[in-house]
Amino acid sequence: MMEPFVRHTGRLAALARANVDTDQIIPKQFLKRVERTGFGPALFHDWRLRPDGSPNPDFELNHPSARGATLLVAGENFGCGSSREHAVWALREYGFRAILAPSFADIFFANCCQNGLVPVRLLPQEIAELFRRHQAAGGEYQLTVDLEEQRVHDGLGFRTSFSMEPYRREMLLHGLDEIGRTLGFEDRIGAYERTREAGDGRREAR
């Protein structure tokens, strides 16, 4: 079971880049693990670190103000490229609870919903305003993502709404993936199976 997401207030990190693909999020050389853990330290590896392994001070997530950020605002088409689910695992393990962007790659969006990372689609002008407010605050900017009410606000005048397919929203609110949602119908599935078995037995008796 995943951690449910109802509403979350946290520090916002800004990644003002479009078309961030999954190979940039988690490079292919780190895909050897079979567990879902251990990918967080490799998040944005080629951007965060210099060739000698030292932190790149120019990368956005290495700025002191991004330390401890749990929300990320980014450019359009976030999560494009290959369908690797590891990208979501890395973002989630790094500490992000939600990603805000004008658009997401379809498979990445679905992977987020399967792993407790909330993908929030906002209008391009709303994303631009979040970037502006983040910069004006020197990076010390907090935001609330309310999935139950489907709203985003900062308590300082910014307030907007977003939409999400009810099926995916319910999964995130209750911390369920597809397997967990199916197990919620375990009693009904069991009753159906017993009915089938009884029917098979009657047919054999004839």
Condensed to tens digits (0 to 9), the pLDDT of residues 71-119 reads 999 999 999 999 999 999 999 999 999 999 999 999 999 999 999 999 9
For residue 202, pLDDT over 90 is answered with no
> Do the domain assignments include residue 201?
no
Instruction: Note the pLDDT of residue 188.
Output: 58
Closest by Cα among 53, 47, 52 to 26: 47
Instruction: Note the pLDDT of residue 14.
Output: 98
For residue 206, pLDDT over 90 is answered with no
The answer to whether 33 and 21 are in contact (CB under 8 A) is no
Q: Work out the pLDDT band at 192, boundaries 50, 70, 90.
A: low
Locate 26 and state its tokens: 């988690």
> Do the domain assignments include residue 52?
yes
Span 36-60, mean pLDDT? 95
> Do the domain assignments include residue 145?
yes
Q: What is the pTM of this model?
A: 0.86
Residue 37, CA atoms < 13 Å, CB-side half-sphere: 0
Phi, psi of 32 (to 5 degrees): -85, -20
Span 108-133, mean pLDDT? 97
Instruction: Note the pLDDT of residue 2.
Output: 86
What are the tens digits of pLDDT across the range 137-155? Answer: 999 999 999 999 999 999 9
What are the tens digits of pLDDT across the range 160-174? Answer: 999 999 999 999 999
Instruction: Note the pLDDT of residue 34.
Output: 78
Domain that holds residue 129: 7-175
For residue 184, pLDDT over 70 is answered with no
Distance from the Cα of residue 45 to its chain's centroid: 18
> Do the domain assignments include residue 1?
no
> Do the domain assignments include residue 59?
yes
> Do the domain assignments include residue 21?
yes
What are the tens digits of pLDDT across the range 6-30? Answer: 999 999 999 999 999 999 999 999 9
User: What value does the mean pLDDT of the chain take?
Assistant: 91
Q: What's the domain count of the chain?
A: 1
> Do the domain assignments include residue 188?
no
- End-to-end CA, the chain: 45
Q: For the chain, what is the largest distance between any 2 Cα atoms, rounded to a whole number of angstroms? A: 80
Q: What is the CATH number of the domain that holds 35?
A: 3.20.19.10
> Do the domain assignments include residue 170?
yes
Instruction: Note the pLDDT of residue 70.
Output: 98
